[in-house]
């Protein structure tokens, strides 16, 4: 019996080692590491580990043991969180929506600022635990009450579950601000990656509810805001840069929006874009809206492949402002609060930020913009991970804190 267990253990070890070797090979075959990125060796190691976890998840899903998203989410939820003695952290539910509240422990004689935070993760990854350090840091450094929303994710939930959870949790919080010790005139909406998309989505709706306090400012960190034009410079320059490669972007996006991945090539080439829609929205979506200093030395011109009506019908919901916030009407954009945008140079979503920045400025919305030359997508989540952190991670979180404190 003992020998059988030894054989099983050796087989399992060999299998796990084989998966890891495969992940390392895939990393070196398919990934590009920008020269401006600091600590490239550490970056490679972290990405190899991430590929290893994703591959294990895929294998478990194929064996029908556990879906890949659930496996990754289980690992995230198993993370040990660091407690801050200066904060009171409370887990609760607003209806069915799990939330985490961070409150300064020191008693204040006046109401405090409130920050509503939507975490990133592409609806596949990310959790209240994996972003716990961000919530603690924001609450501690800005002396604010921070509400972090744990929205529904894949594989069980698709669009619009995430946006609805973020909206409903925010409305409940805004209706009960004083019970949480928050000043109704000092509420900031903040989100990273898909969480930044949720901020843009929710802010299209909140101003239309007159009974709610007005949001003082919105903070969007490396958000995805355009599901239409994938020929922008950053999509060409950073398509193979972790942690959000083009393949991962499409995997997350298509799963959440219930779009079959077989339409990926049609979306990449613009075959899903009707000419009349392109003529109408090009002024907001085009390559031409990106400052030339962000163009590559040998820019590839925007070229729409022959229109594929079947592909368009399968993907046409991306043309709503609810999914592509950059398409919102001028009157919606004009009523948005002052905005802080964070972009990273080595990020496939960099140009989404630039498109949205121009969109807001054209409608008179006050915009502050922070660009990180050595940054990459997802660096924020690593800022408090000690040896796994990067200088750009600290730059991003400090910039957000500085902006919020100066409002």
User: Domain ranges in the chain?
Assistant: 2-66, 84-407
CATH superfamily membership of 84-407: Alpha/Beta hydrolase fold, catalytic domain (3.40.50.1820)
384 catalytic per annotation: no
The pLDDT mean for the chain works out to 94
The pTM assigned to this predicted structure is 0.95
- How much is the average pLDDT of 132-148? 97
The percent of residues above 90 in pLDDT, for the chain, comes to 85
Select which of 347, 351, 352, 374 is catalytic.
347
Q: Is the pLDDT of residue 157 over 70?
A: yes
Select which of 127, 170, 193, 393 is catalytic.
193
Alpha carbon separation from 278 to 161, 250, 304, 308, 332 (Å, rounded): 28, 21, 9, 14, 21
Which residue has better confidence, 329 or 8? 329
Alpha carbon separation from 153 to 127, 164, 168, 192, 262 (Å, rounded): 10, 12, 15, 15, 22
Helix (DSSP H) and strand (DSSP E) numbers for the chain: 14, 8
Q: Check whether the bond before 160 is cis (ω within 30° of 0).
A: yes
Q: Is the pLDDT of residue 5 over 90?
A: no
Name the one residue in this structure whose structure tokens are 């960190």.
221
pLDDT (tens digit per residue) in 13-65: 888 899 999 999 999 999 999 988 889 999 999 999 999 999 999 999 999 99
- How much is the average pLDDT of 217-240? 96
Q: Can you point out the beta strands (E) in 68-201?
A: 87-94, 97-104, 112-118, 144-149, 182-192
C-alpha–C-alpha distance, residues 7 and 13, integer Å: 10
377 catalytic per annotation: yes
265 catalytic per annotation: no
């Amino acid at each position: 019996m003992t020998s059988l267990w030894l054989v099983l253990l050796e087989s399992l070890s060999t299998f796990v080692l084989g998966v890891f070797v495969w992940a390392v090979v895939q990393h070196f075959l398919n990934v590009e590491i920008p020269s401006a990125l600091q600590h490239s060796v550490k970056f490679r190691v972290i990405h190899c580990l991430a590929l290893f976890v994703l591959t294990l998840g895929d294998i478990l899903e194929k064996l029908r043991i556990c879906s890949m998203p659930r496996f990754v989410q289980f690992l995230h939820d198993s993370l040990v969180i660091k407690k801050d003695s200066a904060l009171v952290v409370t887990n609760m539910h607003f209806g069915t929506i799990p939330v985490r509240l961070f409150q300064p422990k020191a008693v204040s004689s006046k109401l405090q600022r409130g920050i509503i935070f939507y975490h990133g993760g592409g609806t596949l990854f990310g959790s209240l635990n994996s972003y716990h350090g961000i919530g603690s840091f924001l609450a501690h450094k800005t002396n604010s009450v921070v509400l972090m929303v744990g929205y529904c994710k894949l594989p069980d939930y698709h669009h619009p579950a995430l946006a609805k959870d973020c909206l409903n949790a925010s409305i409940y919080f805004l209706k009960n601000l004083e019970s949480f010790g928050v000043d109704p005139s000092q509420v900031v909406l903040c989100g990273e990656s898909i969480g930044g998309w949720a901020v843009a989505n929710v802010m299209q709706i909140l101003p239309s509810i007159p009974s709610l306090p007005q949001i003082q400012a919105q903070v969007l960190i490396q958000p995805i805001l355009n599901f239409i034009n994938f020929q922008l410079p950053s999509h060409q320059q950073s398509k193979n840069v972790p942690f959000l490669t083009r393949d991962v972007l499409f995997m997350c996006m298509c799963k959440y929006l219930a779009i079959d991945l077989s339409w990926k090539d049609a979306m990449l080439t613009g075959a899903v874009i009707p000419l009349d829609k392109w003529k109408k929205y090009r002024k907001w979506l085009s390559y031409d809206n990106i400052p030339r200093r962000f163009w590559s030395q040998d820019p590839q011109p925007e070229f729409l492949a022959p229109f594929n009506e079947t592909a368009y019908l399968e993907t046409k919901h991306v043309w709503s402002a609810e999914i592509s916030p950059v398409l919102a009407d001028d009157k919606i954009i004009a009523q948005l609060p002052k905005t802080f945008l964070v972009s990273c140079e080595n990020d496939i979503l960099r140009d989404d930020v630039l498109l949205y920045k121009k969109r807001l400025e054209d409608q008179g919305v006050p915009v502050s913009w922070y660009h990180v030359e050595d940054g990459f997508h997802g660096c924020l989540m690593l800022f408090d991970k000690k040896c796994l952190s990067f200088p750009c991670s600290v730059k991003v979180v400090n910039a957000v804190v500085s902006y919020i404190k100066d409002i």
